[in-house]
Structure 1
Amino acid sequence: MYRRILLLVCSLILLTTQTSCWSSKEIEDLALYSGLALDVGEPTLTEQALQDQGATYPKRNTITVTIQLVPANSVGGTGRQSSSSSSSSDAPYLNVTGTGDSVLEIFRQYSLRLDRPIIGHHLKVIVVSTELLKRQEMNQLLDFVLRDNDIRPSTMVFLSQGRAEDTLISKEKNEIPAFHIRDMVHNQRRTSKVLDPVILSKMDALMYSKRSFALQNLVTANGEVEFSGAGIIKGDTGHWVGALNQEDTECLAWLTNEGQTGIIKTYDGNKQEITYEMKAMKSEITAKMNGDSLAFDVKIATEGRLSETWNIDDYPAAVKNSQKAEQLFKKRLEQMMHSLMQKLQSDYKTDVAGFGEKLSIQEPALWRKVEDHWDDVFSRTPIHINVDLKITDFGSFTN
């Protein structure tokens, strides 16, 4: 009897003290956004029509913010009517656009147009227009995003050569563009033209340290999106200063040991195409001091296969032909690396390849002297590149 009474008392205590999920909200009552695009301010036709009817508030049209809501039916008719025309009526997502001079204020203005509050717990990608970054600093644009507790620090950040809002549009009926962009990163195992994604937590550290960095660039055409090169953000200004093409971006990934795959294409003595496919890649950057003079030695070692040749007369596995091919590929890789360094040191005068990081580890005393103006020092520092390339496989072929 005593045990039953004790059990009853304990049960009553548990029932009255456990709050459960008192602050929970049903997912059907929320508007989840998975993508965020930031562009130069251009009010949409819908916004202009609303403003003509008195829907105005004090603002400057500095920035246009587009969010991608999923699923589309998480927002009722009011939201659909007020959205931009960037998503079709049967798409599984809804893009909503607002223009102003404060990201947070624009977000709150959405509450005047949508029938459910937006929530950023499932934000996957942020795309920033390079045109906007010519005018505004990256830390200004992402200040609210970094402060907001709803947005996860694992959110990926990309650049867009055109309008960022266009990257959140797809011609595929059942495709959600924000998820598609996130999943494209997985193709790193196939090509080093896909860089390691920069997430918000890393972005915050880069901006705080005023280090220059590169972000993957997106281009769009006819409802399709493609990774195409990278954009460079200058550390001391926070502005976009230039772009790297796909080949430069691949070399950057190899130089920083972020990329282990890729191909090198060149032409033999008969001007026939031959292609080398990397199976292993390793680079090593070493700082060298000669008195007060600084230089860097870069050693790149790669092994791979001769995967394609259009010269059907030569036997590729023959020692003579193999050695010739190795020299051709080595020369081509050296040219690609020198082209990248030319852009980083002469054109953009920014270190996004980790030379400063290596110097801080190998020569910390010197680094403390130059870190405040490292990009300038980097642009004047000699860099010597040595390539060791070996063909270890010729694939399957019939002699």
Structure 2
Amino acid sequence: MKHITIRILLSALLILILLPLTGCWSKKEIEDLGLIVGTSLDLEKQGGPQEESAGQAGGHFNRDRITITNQFVTSETTGKGTKTGSSPQKAYNNVSETGDAILPTLRNMVLRIDKRAFAEHSKVIIIGEDLARTLDLQKILDFFIREQEMRPSGLLLIAQNRASKTLESKKPMDIPAFRLVEMTHGHGRTTKILPPTTLTKIEGKLHSGASFLLQNVVSSSNGEIKFSGAAVIEGKTKKLRGFLNEKEIEGLTWITGKGKGGLVKSVDKETGQPVIYEILSMKSNIKPHVDGNDISFNIEIESEGRIAEHWVVSEKTIETEFLKRVEKAIEEEVERLVKNVLDKIQHEYKTDVAGFGNQLRIKYPHKWKTAKKDWDQIFSEVPIQYEVKITIKDYGTSDE
């Protein structure tokens, strides 16, 4: 009887061990999949050829439509890149479809591809300038946020002009969607690139009602793509308000204190020669002040860094007088960057994309309750003072 019990226990144990080895019953053969690695969305103006609308046989929508371009990587494209005949084959395949809503347009794309579209490896979504100005991002991104197959860590970008051009490359082995993601890794080395914004982060930004920034990408006529400034998204309308250039992004990074590295180029006043300051650390403290109905802000900016390069050959880097002179020149350059971007976001765009309202909410919650409804307008009129403190901690091995 004892042996029978042991055999039963061993049999049950064996069955339990074998269960995890039965394989994946929901497997998807990679040869049968078209992996979507990037998606672009562009506005098509009225006047183009109209298509039948989904759910209305023979019906036509008399409104602007959206062109969606999916970048596919398949088992065939990844094996390409070698020359067949006179021209090399691309390592990706772009498929475009136009419609008046996201999901029906994507489903129509099935009629043009021979593999199952699979979006769990999607890396980036790029929205064209015209579309972002016309429709609010909440509507544009609703499907992508709801779709369970979409990866929430996918990067979100705004393209100046046409978004589909950023998914093109003249290099045979290049996959543009992958390259866009890799370009964000430079955030820690420059103040000209924003921290990456993903689908997970964008949902909170859209629901907050506050204005915010998205990284801008431009494509040149020779097929090169570049991060260049940022898109200003207005909180109330959730539409594109305008763009900040690279210098203005630098100023905004100093205001927020979110930079991890970068350079500041200034000029030595006595010699007129350039001096390059490399940022080792930065921090910023935005202090709100409330006096009755009056709101104001003070910004305290501090940074430690090193002299990475200077052309003042008549001076020794280790001399205290020279270091103080350089620190003052760097402080003045940072103040100029801050002033320029504050003028742009306060007086031209009238949108708080630097987090001033959030600091007011934290320090003065009761005041924020009355101000948040018209905050962007209030922000455009509040006085803002700033102070910059630069400390040079290192000057390399030269002159030691």
TM-score, normalised via structure 1 length: 0.88
Cα distance in 2 for partners of 1:373, 1:108 equals 41
Cα distance in 2 for partners of 1:370, 1:390 equals 37
Taking structure 1 as reference, are residues 311 and 8 closer, same or farther at Cα in structure 2, changes over 3 Å only? closer
Partner residue in 1 for 2:125 = 126
Partner residue in 2 for 1:152 = 151
Partner residue in 2 for 1:237 = 237
Cα distance in 2 for partners of 1:257, 1:19 equals 53
For the Cα contact (< 8 Å) 1:38–1:127, is it kept in 2?
yes
Q: Which amino acid aligns with 1:39?
A: D
For the Cα contact (< 8 Å) 2:77–2:93, is it kept in 1?
no
RMSD: 2.7
Taking structure 1 as reference, are residues 6 and 307 closer, same or farther at Cα in structure 2, changes over 3 Å only? closer
Partner residue in 1 for 2:70 = 67
Cα distance in 2 for partners of 1:15, 1:393 equals 62
Say which is worse superposed, 259-268 or 153-162, in terms of deviation: 259-268
Asked if residue 228 in structure 1 is aligned to residue 233 in structure 2, the reply is no
Q: Secondary structure at the match of 1:302?
A: strand
Partner residue in 1 for 2:375 = 374
Q: Secondary structure at the match of 1:106?
A: helix
For the Cα contact (< 8 Å) 1:42–1:64, is it kept in 2?
no
Q: Cα distance, 1:202 vs. partner?
A: 1.3
Partner residue in 1 for 2:262 = 262
Q: Cα distance, 1:230 vs. partner?
A: 0.3
Q: Cα distance, 1:291 vs. partner?
A: 2.8
Q: Cα distance, 1:279 vs. partner?
A: 1.1
Moved over 6 A (4+): 9-19
Partner residue in 2 for 1:40 = 43
Say which is worse superposed, 260-269 or 217-226, in terms of deviation: 260-269
Q: Secondary structure at the match of 1:387?
A: strand
% identical equivalent positions: 37
Cα distance in 1 for partners of 2:247, 2:15 equals 69
Partner residue in 2 for 1:383 = 384
For the Cα contact (< 8 Å) 2:77–2:92, is it kept in 1?
no
For the Cα contact (< 8 Å) 1:322–1:391, is it kept in 2?
yes
Q: Secondary structure at the match of 2:317?
A: coil
Cα distance in 2 for partners of 1:337, 1:398 equals 33
Q: Which amino acid aligns with 1:132?
A: L
Correspondent of 2:25 among 22, 27, 33 = 22
Cα distance in 2 for partners of 1:130, 1:333 equals 30
TM-score, normalised via structure 2 length: 0.87
Partner residue in 1 for 2:249 = 249
For the Cα contact (< 8 Å) 1:72–1:92, is it kept in 2?
no
For the Cα contact (< 8 Å) 1:279–1:303, is it kept in 2?
yes
Cα distance in 2 for partners of 1:113, 1:291 equals 64
Cα distance in 2 for partners of 1:151, 1:17 equals 27
Cα distance in 2 for partners of 1:41, 1:201 equals 28
Taking structure 1 as reference, are residues 31 and 303 closer, same or farther at Cα in structure 2, changes over 3 Å only? same
Partner residue in 2 for 1:78 = none
Partner residue in 2 for 1:189 = 188
Taking structure 1 as reference, are residues 14 and 381 closer, same or farther at Cα in structure 2, changes over 3 Å only? same
Which ranges in structure 1 are unaligned for 5 or more consecutive residues?
A: 49-55, 76-87
Cα distance in 1 for partners of 2:337, 2:20 equals 67
Per-residue Cα deviation, 1:236-291 (whole angstroms, up to 9, x for no partner): 00111111111111222232232131211122233222211111111001111223
Taking structure 1 as reference, are residues 35 and 42 closer, same or farther at Cα in structure 2, changes over 3 Å only? farther
Cα distance in 2 for partners of 1:243, 1:304 equals 29
Cα distance in 1 for partners of 2:74, 2:33 equals 10
Partner residue in 1 for 2:323 = 322
Q: Cα distance, 1:152 vs. partner?
A: 1.6
Q: Cα distance, 1:209 vs. partner?
A: 1.7
Q: Cα distance, 1:10 vs. partner?
A: 7.3
Cα distance in 1 for partners of 2:386, 2:232 equals 22
Q: Secondary structure at the match of 1:282?
A: strand
